[in-house]
Amino acid sequence: MTELRFTEEQRDCLQELINVAMGLASDKLARYLNTFVHLQVPAIRLVDTEQLPEHFASRYEQQSVTMISLGFFGDQGLRGETIMLYQLANVDVIAKLLGYSNDDSSEAEMLTDISSVLTTTFLNGLAEQLENSFSYAAPRILSSRDQHFADKLASTAEQWQLALQVDIRYQLTDYSFNCDMILLIPGEAMMRLRLILDQFLASF
Amino acid sequence: MQLDWLVQPLLTQLNTGVLVLDAAHNIVYFNQFIARRADIQLSDVSGRLVYDIFADAPKAWLQRKIDGVLALQSPAFSSWEQRQYIIKLPHLRPVSSGSQHMAQNCSMLPFKAPNSAEQFVCLLIEDATDAYVYQQQLQHSMAQLELANRTDGLTGVFNRRHWQHELGQEIQRAKRYQHPLSLLLFDLDKFKQLNDQYGHQGGDAVLIELSGIIAALLRDTDVLGRYGGEEFGVILPETDMAGALLVANRICAAAGHQMLFNGHYINATVSIGVSSFSGQTIDELIQQSDIALYNAKRQGRNQAVAWQQQPETYLKKVK
């Protein structure tokens, strides 16, 4: 597995690209949501997929968590899956954020909607940075109101070699919410990603 | 090789609905999939607002989604699992499906015209009716399984496992809200004799009829379950001892009627033990009703007896 690791430089480069992508996304989101959105610079960590479930289980402890997956495909074998984790206590805030009233959308629909907005906006920015473009599969709910979501996360994560944990924290004027995004990338796509990062580094 | 000629026949044959809107949500294009199912012609509705043509579409929601696609230049999705359909279209399985309308998965994709910067949104609508129908069948089977899992096969009342689970819940509720709660345990008198005389089918018939008679006497919130062979339990939420004894006596009176089985009149009576919740555990509460039930039997059967604190020695004798 060691050959799949990033070098220090590659990781810094990726962090930088993600920061830029996140910046692009927050700008678009602020305009779309028509409110002052303060997106903090995301904290990014490369995580061992084996450690992921444990990490998130302790992070959310006994709280109800909804887990939503969205797959993406790019050119040249770049592909992966994003997983968004939400605390259900945040659902009302998300509804307000999207301008939904309670009666016209279900909780599941609100969560899949916010997930596709957050992930595709961010990933489009990332694709742009990588001089690629992504197409997306519809988001789907992996588990909901589930205290044992870590088990499902384990069975999802074990198919992937690299996990990139991105903490996203949204702060709006009157309320705030945060959610976690995990970027899962398979081994072949990661090799490809490393090549692209090397090209980037060479051009500086 | 020039492949432009392929696009039109492909769009026509495609088994997916393609509906293109401009930035003002006016209809620009749709393919045959939509034209045939919605029975509209592009030449008639081109340039019209999509919400005017598909008046049943969830306007506010769809507007927000499409504006999002345009503003963010990123796709949006809708799944039949969350929203069965966006525009009402018939599907091709009218007989096998319980629903009249096509269940739809929809992707909404942003497009820009290559020469102008004009923006468009393309709605791809896929027929997910099959998945929808299978899901409905699955849910129906699950509901039936769940019911079977809770029900006593012979009498149709709750089985012991579910009944005891309900009792646990009611105890929690009574404790939390300081509400009264009572428990009846009752037993058919001389059931063995009855079985010997009329056979097990006779015994079964009595159990079935008795369950029906008693269920009819209870409120919707009362919970009747078969505890064991000829023993039943009734959970009476919001009911104190006096109220529970009233119900118990009513059950005794109703059960005392003769039942007809194979031309014979069977005389069945019940004995009932009554206890009320005052902080006991589930096992203690059941035990108290059980002791009261034994006392009802000792005192001559066909009656309801309330649980009372008994001297230690007497308890041992009963057991």
Of B177 and B95, more confident: B177
Tell me which DSSP letter residue B65 carries.
H
Structure-block tokens of residue B123 = 């709605």
pLDDT at residue A1, rounded to an integer: 43
Strands (E), chain A: 37-39, 43-47, 65-73, 79-87, 135-136, 140-146, 162-172, 176-185
Structure-block tokens of residue B254 = 């109703």
pLDDT tens digit sequence for B284-309: 999 999 999 999 999 999 999 999 88
Of B282 and B130, more confident: B282
Positive or negative: CA dihedral B112, B17, A118, B22: positive
For residue B96, pLDDT over 50 is answered with: yes
pLDDT confidence tier of residue B46, bands split at 50, 70 and 90: very high
Classify residue A84: in a domain, yes or no.
yes
DSSP alpha helix (H) spans, A64-145: 91-98, 107-129
> Can you tell me the distance from the alpha carbon of B28 to that of B79, in angstroms, rounded to the nearest whole number?
24
Average pLDDT, chain B: 90
Classify residue A203: in a domain, yes or no.
no
Mean pLDDT of A44-56: 75
Q: Can you give the residue range of the structural domain that contains A45?
A: 2-189
Chain B residues inside the 8 Å CB shell of A105: 61
pLDDT confidence tier of residue A30, bands split at 50, 70 and 90: confident
Query: What architecture is domain B4-136?
Result: 2-Layer Sandwich (3.30)
Q: What is the ipTM of this complex?
A: 0.75
Average pLDDT, chain A: 78
Q: How far is B72 from chain A (nearest CA, A)?
A: 6
pLDDT at residue B216, rounded to an integer: 92
Report the number of distinct structural domains present in chain A: 1
Chain A residues inside the 8 Å CB shell of B107: 138
pLDDT at residue A35, rounded to an integer: 66
> Can you tell me the distance from the alpha carbon of B316 to that of B319, in angstroms, rounded to the nearest whole number?
5
Lowest mean pLDDT among A189-193, B97-101, B265-269: B97-101
Q: Has B209 been annotated as catalytic?
A: no
Q: Looking up tokens 């810094």, which residue turns up?
A: A12
- Checking B13-16 for CB contacts under 8 A at 24+ apart, the result is B15/B127, B16/B124, B16/B125, B16/B126, B16/B127
Determine contact, residues B247/B239, Cβ cutoff 8 Å.
yes
Name the segment(s) of chain B with CATH classification 3.30.450.20: 4-136
Cα B249 from chain centroid (whole Å): 33
pLDDT at residue B244, rounded to an integer: 96
- CB spacing of A109 vs B82 below 8 angstroms: yes
Q: How far is B119 from chain A (nearest CA, A)?
A: 16
**Domain containing residue A39: CATH number:** 3.40.1550.10
Mean pLDDT of B17-40: 95
- CB spacing of B64 vs A140 below 8 angstroms: no
> Can you tell me the distance from the alpha carbon of A31 to that of A121, in angstroms, rounded to the nearest whole number?
12
Classify residue A197: in a domain, yes or no.
no
Of B79 and A167, more confident: B79
pLDDT at residue B48, rounded to an integer: 96
Mean pLDDT of A93-106: 70
> Can you tell me the distance from the alpha carbon of B84 to that of B106, in angstroms, rounded to the nearest whole number?
10
**Of B119, B37, B134, B41, nearest in space to B86 by CA:** B37
The percentage of chain A sitting over the pLDDT mark of 70, rounded to a whole number, equals 80
Q: Looking up tokens 């379950």, which residue turns up?
A: B225
pLDDT at residue B99, rounded to an integer: 67
Q: How far is B281 from chain A (nearest CA, A)?
A: 26
Determine contact, residues A94/A177, Cβ cutoff 8 Å.
yes
Chain B residues inside the 8 Å CB shell of A99: 64
Q: Mutation test of the interface with chain A: which of B61, B65, B67, B74, choosing the one with the most A Cβ atoms within 10 A? A: B74
pLDDT tens digit sequence for A145-155: 666 677 777 77
Residue from the list B76, B83, B105 with its beta carbon closest to the beta carbon of A116: B76
For residue A43, pLDDT over 90 is answered with: no
pLDDT tens digit sequence for A5-29: 778 888 888 888 888 888 888 778 7
Lowest mean pLDDT among A136-145, A155-164, B96-105: A155-164
Cα A82 from chain centroid (whole Å): 5
pLDDT confidence tier of residue B177, bands split at 50, 70 and 90: very high
Of B99 and B203, more confident: B203
Strand, helix or coil at B107? strand
Determine contact, residues B50/B25, Cβ cutoff 8 Å.
yes
Classify residue A10: in a domain, yes or no.
yes
**Options B209, B230, B231, B284, the catalytic residue:** B230
pLDDT at residue A2, rounded to an integer: 44
pLDDT at residue A47, rounded to an integer: 74
> Can you tell me the distance from the alpha carbon of B68 to that of A34, in angstroms, rounded to the nearest whole number?
11
Chain A residues inside the 8 Å CB shell of B81: 108
* Nearest residue on chain A to B107, alpha-carbon basis: A138
Mean pLDDT of B173-199: 92
What DSSP element (H or E) covers B267? strand B264-267
Positive or negative: CA dihedral A110, A28, A181, B131: positive
Chain A residues inside the 8 Å CB shell of B83: 109
Mean pLDDT of A191-204: 85
- CB spacing of A108 vs B74 below 8 angstroms: no
Name the segment(s) of chain B with CATH classification 3.30.70.270: 151-318
Beta strands across the sheet bearing B104-112: B27-30, B17-22, B119-127, B104-112, B76-78
Q: List Cβ neighbours of A173 (8 Å cut-off, separation of 6 or more).
A: A35, A36
Q: Looking up tokens 């149709």, which residue turns up?
A: B156
Classify residue A194: in a domain, yes or no.
no
Mean pLDDT of B225-243: 94
The CATH code for residues B151-318 is 3.30.70.270
Determine contact, residues A202/A71, Cβ cutoff 8 Å.
no
Classify residue A103: in a domain, yes or no.
yes
Q: How far is B48 from chain A (nearest CA, A)?
A: 25
Range among B52-66, B204-218, B233-247 with highest mean pLDDT value: B233-247
> Can you tell me the distance from the alpha carbon of A103 to that of A113, in angstroms, rounded to the nearest whole number?
16
pLDDT at residue B232, rounded to an integer: 96
Mean pLDDT of A70-93: 83
**Of B287, B277, B222, B225, nearest in space to B250 by CA:** B222
Residue from the list B61, B64, B72 with its beta carbon closest to the beta carbon of A121: B72
**Of B51, B131, B64, nearest in space to B99 by CA:** B131
Classify residue A202: in a domain, yes or no.
no
Determine contact, residues A49/A165, Cβ cutoff 8 Å.
no
Classify residue A199: in a domain, yes or no.
no
> Which residues on adjacent β-strands are paired with residue A122?
none
